[in-house]
Chain A
Amino acid sequence: MGGRWENDDTHADAGGDASGDAVLLRAVAAGDASALAELYDRHAGWLHARLTRRCADPEVVREVLQDTFVTVWRSAAGHRGQQAGGWLWTIAARRLVDARRVQERAARVETLPAPAAVAPSAEDRVLTALEYGDVGTALDRISPELREVLRATVVDGLSTREAARLLGIPEGTVKSRALRARAELRAALTQLNPSPTGGPA
């Protein structure tokens, strides 16, 4: 995969853009609708693509996207200097979980846990290893159910509970699948590359 990622000088303005996001969010918090439009143009596209990979119903994706930016409009004051992209995804992922919950006519408002600090070591290893090609091969070897759980918990940063709602499976199943996914991934990685980065977790 190495060749797909470029260390390109033309992107040296990335830092300026990131601070641009912070400026935009402050303007949105102050009620500037054109700042919201600019923020939308920067981020709505990839949020839409990412949501589409996680939800097959285009109507739900559309609602979640709209809902996300309405929430941004109302709550931009709550932004505390995190990366704008990550902050937006947190909102979108929660809205997606909520949408699933409404869809399934499950119980009413129930307090969601605070953003879970995802258990670091094994996941961090996966994320670090994602930068190397062999993880792709390893991921292809584990079952789609396990991959789904990994994606929800590791990549999307959802808590066990939120992942359970998103995937429509019990929390216990999320936990056991996450464990199995990690074990299988570790095994697959070891098989592919006898000395993986960082050694066994």
Chain B
Amino acid sequence: MTTPWHASEDLTLRYADGSLPEADAWSLEKHLETCTACATRVSTAVRNTPAGLVLDEVRDLILTATATRPKGARGSDMCGSAAWARPAPTGRHLTTHLKPTLWSLGPALRGTWLLALLTVVVGALLLNRAAGYEATRTLLLTLAPVIPVAGVALSYGPHADPLHEITAATPSGGLRLALTRTAAVLGLSLPALTLTGAALPASGAPGAAAWLLPALALTLGSLTLASYVGCRTATAVTGGGWLAAVLVPAFAAHGGSLTARLAGRLAVCFDGAQPGWAAAAAVCAVLLAVRRDAYDHLENR
């Protein structure tokens, strides 16, 4: 259907701005499929319309995507002529990249987790200020390390993200996305909880910042463990493990009030062990780097 005809300037411009009637547009569209010269001219004309902005943005996104996932990562797409013709797995869509920033920061930040964080912060302040409960910081520090871990649990994986299969298949899915979302969770919960802790009276509890390294280590530990057993199980193990390690000895010990015992237990877990927590965080980070490929197949777990 090669023709000696080419689209006139007028036709090109009217197609670019969308004002060309249907029948003329159909003719041009069929022609563009076979004539690169006209296709290029129409494309140039469209770039000069408001759509040019979108075209530039998408161009940047695509070139970024090709830079982060070079050809070597194409895998099964090399299997021949049927490769492009077969139905696309829905996972091909890059939906999340185009959503507003908050949306892209992950399920945790727009769901129940944010509510939980707010509840803990507001609850702690109210308990102390309104109810005059002195040992609030002890309770806060007991709970604080679990909150980022819970954020991780709600951030990545088929159970947490309705778009998981879609996002997991994008060039920036996998560990990179999990880390981005974890960073968002940490960026919000660390300052919020530390400031809340600092606003509460010490009354025997460790410093307000003492929980930061343990929380980091537990979060990294969760991510590492998640590469073996999936996000949900991993966070249940680390979060539950922490609570058990603090609460069980505090309940089992004798003498003094429960909050005093809890404060003592926290002091053991935090103050003496900071280098230990730092080392644990470093080990987990290295392990996580080694296990990064496992994040591409998390949905199997």
Residue numbers of A with Cβ under 8 A of B are 1, 3-8, 11, 13-14, 17-18, 20-21, 30-31, 33, 36-37, 40-46, 48-50, 52-53, 58-59, 61-63, 65-67, 69-71, 73-75, 77-80, 83-86, 89, 91, 94-95, 98-99, 101-102, 108-112, 114-115, 127, 130-131, 135-136, 139-140, 147, 151, 155
Contact = CB atoms under 8 A, between A and B. Distances in A.
A78 B21 contact: no
Contact of B16 (A37, A49, A102): A49
B67 A17 contact: no
Contacts of A50: 29, 32
Nearest to A50: B29
Contacts of B16: 45, 49
A124 B120 CA distance: 69
Contacts of B95: 63, 102
Given A5-B7, A59-B98, A17 B23 contact: no
Interface stretch (B57-65, B201-209, B237-245): B57-65
Most buried by A among B27, B86, B166, B171: B27
Contacts of B37: 11, 13-14, 17
Interface in B100-150: none
B18 A49 contact: yes
B8 interface: yes
A42 B36 contact: yes
A20 B84 contact: no
A3 B5 CA distance: 11
A101 B35 CA distance: 31
Contact of A46 (B23, B32, B70): B32
A98 B90 contact: yes
A139 B78 CA distance: 43
A101 B39 CA distance: 28
Query: Chain B: interface secondary structure?
Result: helix
A86 B42 contact: no
A73 B94 contact: no
B253 interface: no
Contacts of A66: 58, 61-62, 94, 97-98
A62 B27 contact: no
Given A83-B34, A85-B32, A48 B88 contact: no
A42 B86 CA distance: 25
B89 interface: yes
Contacts of A70: 62, 65, 92, 94, 171
Contacts of A85: 32-36, 39
Contact of B46 (A8, A49, A62, A84): A49
Given A45-B45, A130-B30, A73 B66 contact: yes
Interface in B1-39: 1, 4-8, 10-11, 15-16, 18, 21-27, 29-30, 32-39
B290 interface: no
A77 B85 CA distance: 12
Given A6-B6, A11-B6, A75-B77, A42 B24 contact: no
A45 B55 contact: yes
B93 interface: yes
Nearest to A86: B33
B147 to A, nearest CB: 32
Contacts of B4: 7
Nearest to A88: B33
Contacts of A130: 23, 26-27, 30
Contacts of B88: 67, 71, 94-95, 98
Contacts of B38: 11, 14
B87 A112 contact: yes
A4 B30 contact: no
Given A17-B36, A46-B39, A147 B84 contact: no
A4 B26 contact: no
A71 B77 CA distance: 9
A67 B83 CA distance: 15
B82 interface: yes
Contact of B59 (A40, A101, A135): A40
A77 B83 contact: yes
Given A45-B46, A94-B88, A53 B33 contact: no
B291 to A, nearest CB: 25
Contacts of A69: 58, 62
